[in-house]
Amino acid sequence: MVQAESLTKTYEEKSVVESVSFQVAEGEVFVLLGRSGCGKTTTLKMINRLVEPTSGQVIINGKRTSQQDPIALRRNIGYVIQENGLFPHYTVEENISVVPELLGHDRDEMRSRLPDLLTQVGLSPEKFIGKYPKELSGGEQQRVAIARAIAARPPLLLMDEPFSALDPITRSDVRTNFYRLSKKFGITVIMVTHDVAEAIEIADHICLMEEGRILRQGEGKDFLFGDNNAVVASFFDAARFETELKVVTITDLLSSLTLKDEEGAVAGEIGLDDRLYSVLDKFSRAKILPLNVRGQDGRTHGTTTLSSLLEAFFKLERRRSS
């Protein structure tokens, strides 16, 4: 859907983005990850021509953006900026419905969808629908901006650190709901973040940048368990344990997991697609009792305890670091 080809941006002879190329498939969440100042925002803005590339090009659905009218181009590309960009004199309801109305969506249909949309981003409709941006906290404003972007259902959505002002718990919930809705409506998303754990959690593909260049592209798992150079590894090390728990599934552990045929009490079930993170949560309630591992076909693979699960996880860890 989106191809960036050798994108370069130079300011006063200094390259801030250098020869950046990537492809984003239709319907995927693609994350530009990197430290502050590495050129993420500049790259994002070259996609909707808020910044014109010094060289290189962007092709969207087979058409070069350089040959399209920038205003017309931007009408079909959603954009959520870090500073939320809400209209100060519009209420929450007006802010969310103005873009879809401009795009010709039905007004009444939009109205009827609004309460659900606000709920999805963790805002109570009754409380927030009539408020003005200045009456909201930074995190609440950001959530209205996310709701507004989803409401317009653009084929392509660019987001620049959209969850940065949210507290960790709200952030995780809003992110999960956002991911689900983007998939439901088939929105292709290119998102910028400096947060490794966030990238791992939400990205179908990650493009890691440093000093204007791409260090590596791939799926979250490639960065954690793949063959990485020291620079890439160091980037992920700080949040490694947390992020590994979020990407490793029971399937990943199956080959080194000792499963038993337990006749006695089990405290519940886990699925093969369950992530270790959520399984640990189940064990915190199951305590020392084992849990049943059930496959998609409904077949029971056996039972596992917390200690055999962790043992399998550390085996995977050792394989990575050896």
Ligand X SMILES: Nc1ncnc2c1ncn2[C@@H]1O[C@H](COP(=O)(O)OP(=O)(O)O)[C@@H](O)[C@H]1O
Residue 159 interacts with ligand X (CB under 6 A)? no
Q: Which one of the spans 29-37, 71-79, 135-143, 271-279 is the region binding ligand X (CB under 6 A)?
A: 29-37
CB of 211 to ligand X, least distance (A): 9
Q: Which is nearer to ligand X, 202 or 306 (CB)?
A: 202
Q: Which is nearer to ligand X, 52 or 116 (CB)?
A: 52
Residue 85 interacts with ligand X (CB under 6 A)? no
CB of 236 to ligand X, least distance (A): 17
Q: Which is nearer to ligand X, 41 or 305 (CB)?
A: 41
Q: Rounded distance, CA 141 to CA 146, Å?
A: 9
Considering CB distances under 5 to 8 angstroms, the limit depending on partner class, which of ligand X, Mg ion, none binds residue 39? ligand X
From the centroid of its chain, how far is CA 103?
25
CB of 215 to Mg ion, least distance (A): 17
What's the full length of the chain, in residues? Answer: 322
Q: Which one of the spans 37-45, 139-147, 222-230, 256-264 is the region binding ligand X (CB under 6 A)?
A: 37-45
Considering CB distances under 5 to 8 angstroms, the limit depending on partner class, which of ligand X, Mg ion, none binds residue 138? none
Q: Which is nearer to Mg ion, 41 or 249 (CB)?
A: 41
Considering CB distances under 5 to 8 angstroms, the limit depending on partner class, which of Mg ion, ligand X, none binds residue 70? none
| SS3 label, residue 136 | coil
Q: Rounded distance, CA 212 to CA 250, Å?
A: 37
Q: Which is nearer to ligand X, 236 or 283 (CB)?
A: 236
Backbone angles phi, psi at 73, to 5 degrees: -60, -50
Contacts of 163 (CB under 8 A, 6+ apart): 142, 146, 171, 174, 175, 193, 198
Considering CB distances under 5 to 8 angstroms, the limit depending on partner class, which of Mg ion, ligand X, none binds residue 220? none
Q: Which one of the spans 31-39, 174-182, 260-268, 294-302 is the region binding ligand X (CB under 6 A)?
A: 31-39
Residue 272 DSSP symbol = T
Q: How many CB atoms lie within 10 A of CB 3?
A: 15
Residue 34 interacts with ligand X (CB under 6 A)? yes
Reference 78, options 150, 16, 15; nearest CA is 150
Among 2, 4, 7, 16, binds ligand X (CB under 6 A): 16
Q: How many CB atoms lie within 10 A of CB 217?
A: 16
Which residues 40-59 are close enough to bind ligand X by CB under 6 A?
Answer: 40-42
Residue 37 interacts with ligand X (CB under 6 A)? yes
Q: Which residues sit opposite 302 in a β-bridge?
A: 293
Q: Which is nearer to Mg ion, 46 or 118 (CB)?
A: 46
Q: Which is nearer to Mg ion, 101 or 211 (CB)?
A: 211
Residue 100 interacts with ligand X (CB under 6 A)? no
Considering CB distances under 5 to 8 angstroms, the limit depending on partner class, which of ligand X, Mg ion, none binds residue 314? none
Residue 244 burial (C-beta neighbours within 10 Å; 0-12, 13-18, 19+): buried
Q: Rounded distance, CA 128 to CA 126, Å?
A: 6
Secondary structure in 3-state letters for 84-111: CCCCCCCCHHHHHHHHHHHCCCCHHHHH
Backbone angles phi, psi at 136, to 5 degrees: -110, 155
Write out the residues near ligand X by the rule CB under 6 A: 11, 16, 34, 36-42
